[in-house]
Amino acid sequence: MRSMKKELTMVMVMSMLLAFGMEPIATAAKQEAPMSSGTTYVLLYLDKPDAFLNGQQVTLDAPATILKDKTFVPAKFLGDAFGMKVEWNEKTRMIEMITPTNNILLDSDNKSVWINGYWQKFDDVAAIVNGRLMIKLTWLADYMGAKYTYNNELRRVDVIYTKPPQGIYNPKSGNSKPVAKFTFAKPTYKLGEPVKFVDLSYDPDAEGTIKYEWTGRQEAYFVPGTYPITLTVQDIHGNKSESYTRNLVISNDTYLSAIEYPIFMKPVGSFITTDWSTIWGNFWELPQLPKTATEDRSRKLLVSDSPEEFTEKGILYQDDVEGKGRLYADHINGTTEKVTLAILAKNTTNQPVTIKTTNKGEVWPSVYANLIGSEATVDFLLGDPLEETLTVPPNQTFIYKQFPDFYPGQGVNLFYDVETSGKIQFSFVATGEVSQSSLTLPLLPFTGHVRGSFPVSQVNWQIDASSFTTPSRLIIGDGKTDPFQPGYDPMRKMEVKNDGNYGVIYKIHADKPRKMAVMIMAKGGVFKGPFKINGDIRLVPESGVITAFDGMQILAKTTGKEDALDIEFSPPAGSAFPIELIFYPLDDRAQ
């Protein structure tokens, strides 16, 4: 007997769940409450499933019936018809009814009803018939505010309900709530198609709305279906509108994929956050964009980067420049005291030699290696006009550059493009006090980083970006497709390589580029640095650092009407390589 009761209880619960469960998405959304209200007219026939709602015939799961000489009518059907909540709450195991003036909880397990907190006996007001909640007809007048008549001859119940309209004006404050409202530019959108939201909200007091709260709103959707989107607005007094919901239909046709969408739609400078599987499956091994590489050997590059972190005072690097040169240094103070970094210029000839500085990249000392590398490169790529001259008498040593003291753990990075009228020996020195006698300091030993002089300080890549049709890439700094430049270290008297090509300027040029997006992926590790795109500096990223696991940043977009695309870059100190420039073809869908 107990087992049978338990099974009946489970059947009843499952029936109520079906009766009061979640409705399909397409019908769950509620439109705004109308300003005016009308009359709902319902005809119910005792023990017959046929009924009429505002003149339209409907079929009921649970028809009106007589129980213990009292007429009971279907609660869920009438609640929906009158716009009132009648739902099963699984957590509380109660049926919730909300009418304009009453909050009602019906507990069938404990045969209790709570009306605005007051208890009544369940069997006096409600019944469960075939798993459906039925309420006593007299409740219509008492709690739903409906009127009814009973036609004994036809065995029909006529129910009339006029929903009382609610105003938005508060006479105490003399102010109205704002009204939330919006629509879409069109009723149906494709997968990955940008959705245009048309705001129709207004404030009856003409004070304007200041805060918008959306639920369910996205730029685009990538799963077909019907999406309820809700808006609530707030005015300057803090008055909040009623929620307004519209359903947006997303068809199964594709406009843009989830991978394509940010590339096509996001502006230059945007960071596209992604995941490893997306990177690996779509961007890791793209075909390489054809390029023709040439080398500029007109300027000798001196790189002082070892010891990168010096632990004693001395000469970090030393070599001669006659004509055009580039001085590049990246060092960290590994001592326990503050030191000064200086570049000494020694004229070893019997004639005066003039040093002209035409470009510079400087940064204040910092403990953040990525930061100093990026900021010094920014300064250099800016290419601000610079005409500094220094004439060194015969057999004299002058201080070419002296930098602010930098403290233990701090680093500096610097570039200088120089032109000399004769041979000058440049020495990079770390010391406490700079003087001509600093040249007597010991030559500090090599510790594994880049050090040497290199004949190539600029590489030029001519690329064909006019007609490619699949995403393609350029690799920078892999030592293979982009070889590391060979050079010579006179302090060790041996041939060396510029691993990473630090201090080298890359100039990438494309004639008549097609419509496309250019993105950077930091494939080798942590990266922070600038690019110069058709004269504009682009920081990657705007703040912090990136890796391939973080995603990609959009460097540039072309319209297909430009005469040329020029990209200028120099590997920033503190960043890892290789990196990849990804060229992604776009079409008319792109913004």
List, as one string, the DSSP characters of 268-295.
TT-EEE--HHHHHHHTTTPPBPPEEEEE
Residue 322 — φ and ψ, nearest 5°?
Answer: -135, 105
For residue range 72-112, what is the model confidence (pLDDT) as tens digits? 888 888 888 887 888 888 888 888 888 877 888 888 788 88
Burial 294-307 (b: 16+ CB within 10 A, else e): eeeeebbbbbbbbb
Range of lowest pLDDT (43-52, 289-298, 299-308, 457-466): 43-52
The whole-angstrom separation of Cα 510 and Cα 518 is 12
3: β partners: none
The whole-angstrom separation of Cα 426 and Cα 5 is 98
The pLDDT value given to residue 394:
97
Average pLDDT of 150-167?
82
Average pLDDT of 185-206?
94
The whole-angstrom separation of Cα 586 and Cα 519 is 13
Looking at the whole model, is its pTM more than 0.85? no
Q: With contact defined as beta carbons under 8 Å apart, do 63 and 49 qualify?
A: yes
Q: With contact defined as beta carbons under 8 Å apart, do 11 and 132 qualify?
A: no
86 sits in which H/E element: strand 85-89
In this predicted structure, the answer to whether residue 225 has a pLDDT above a threshold of 70 is yes
The answer for residues whose C-beta is within 8 angstroms of residue 556's C-beta and 6 or more apart is 268, 517, 518, 533, 534, 538, 565, 567
The pLDDT value given to residue 165:
65
Residue 117 DSSP class: T
Between 553 and 133, the more confident residue is 553
The whole-angstrom separation of Cα 37 and Cα 336 is 82
The pLDDT value given to residue 139:
77
Look up residue 474 and give its two tokens.
């350029």
The whole-angstrom separation of Cα 230 and Cα 243 is 6
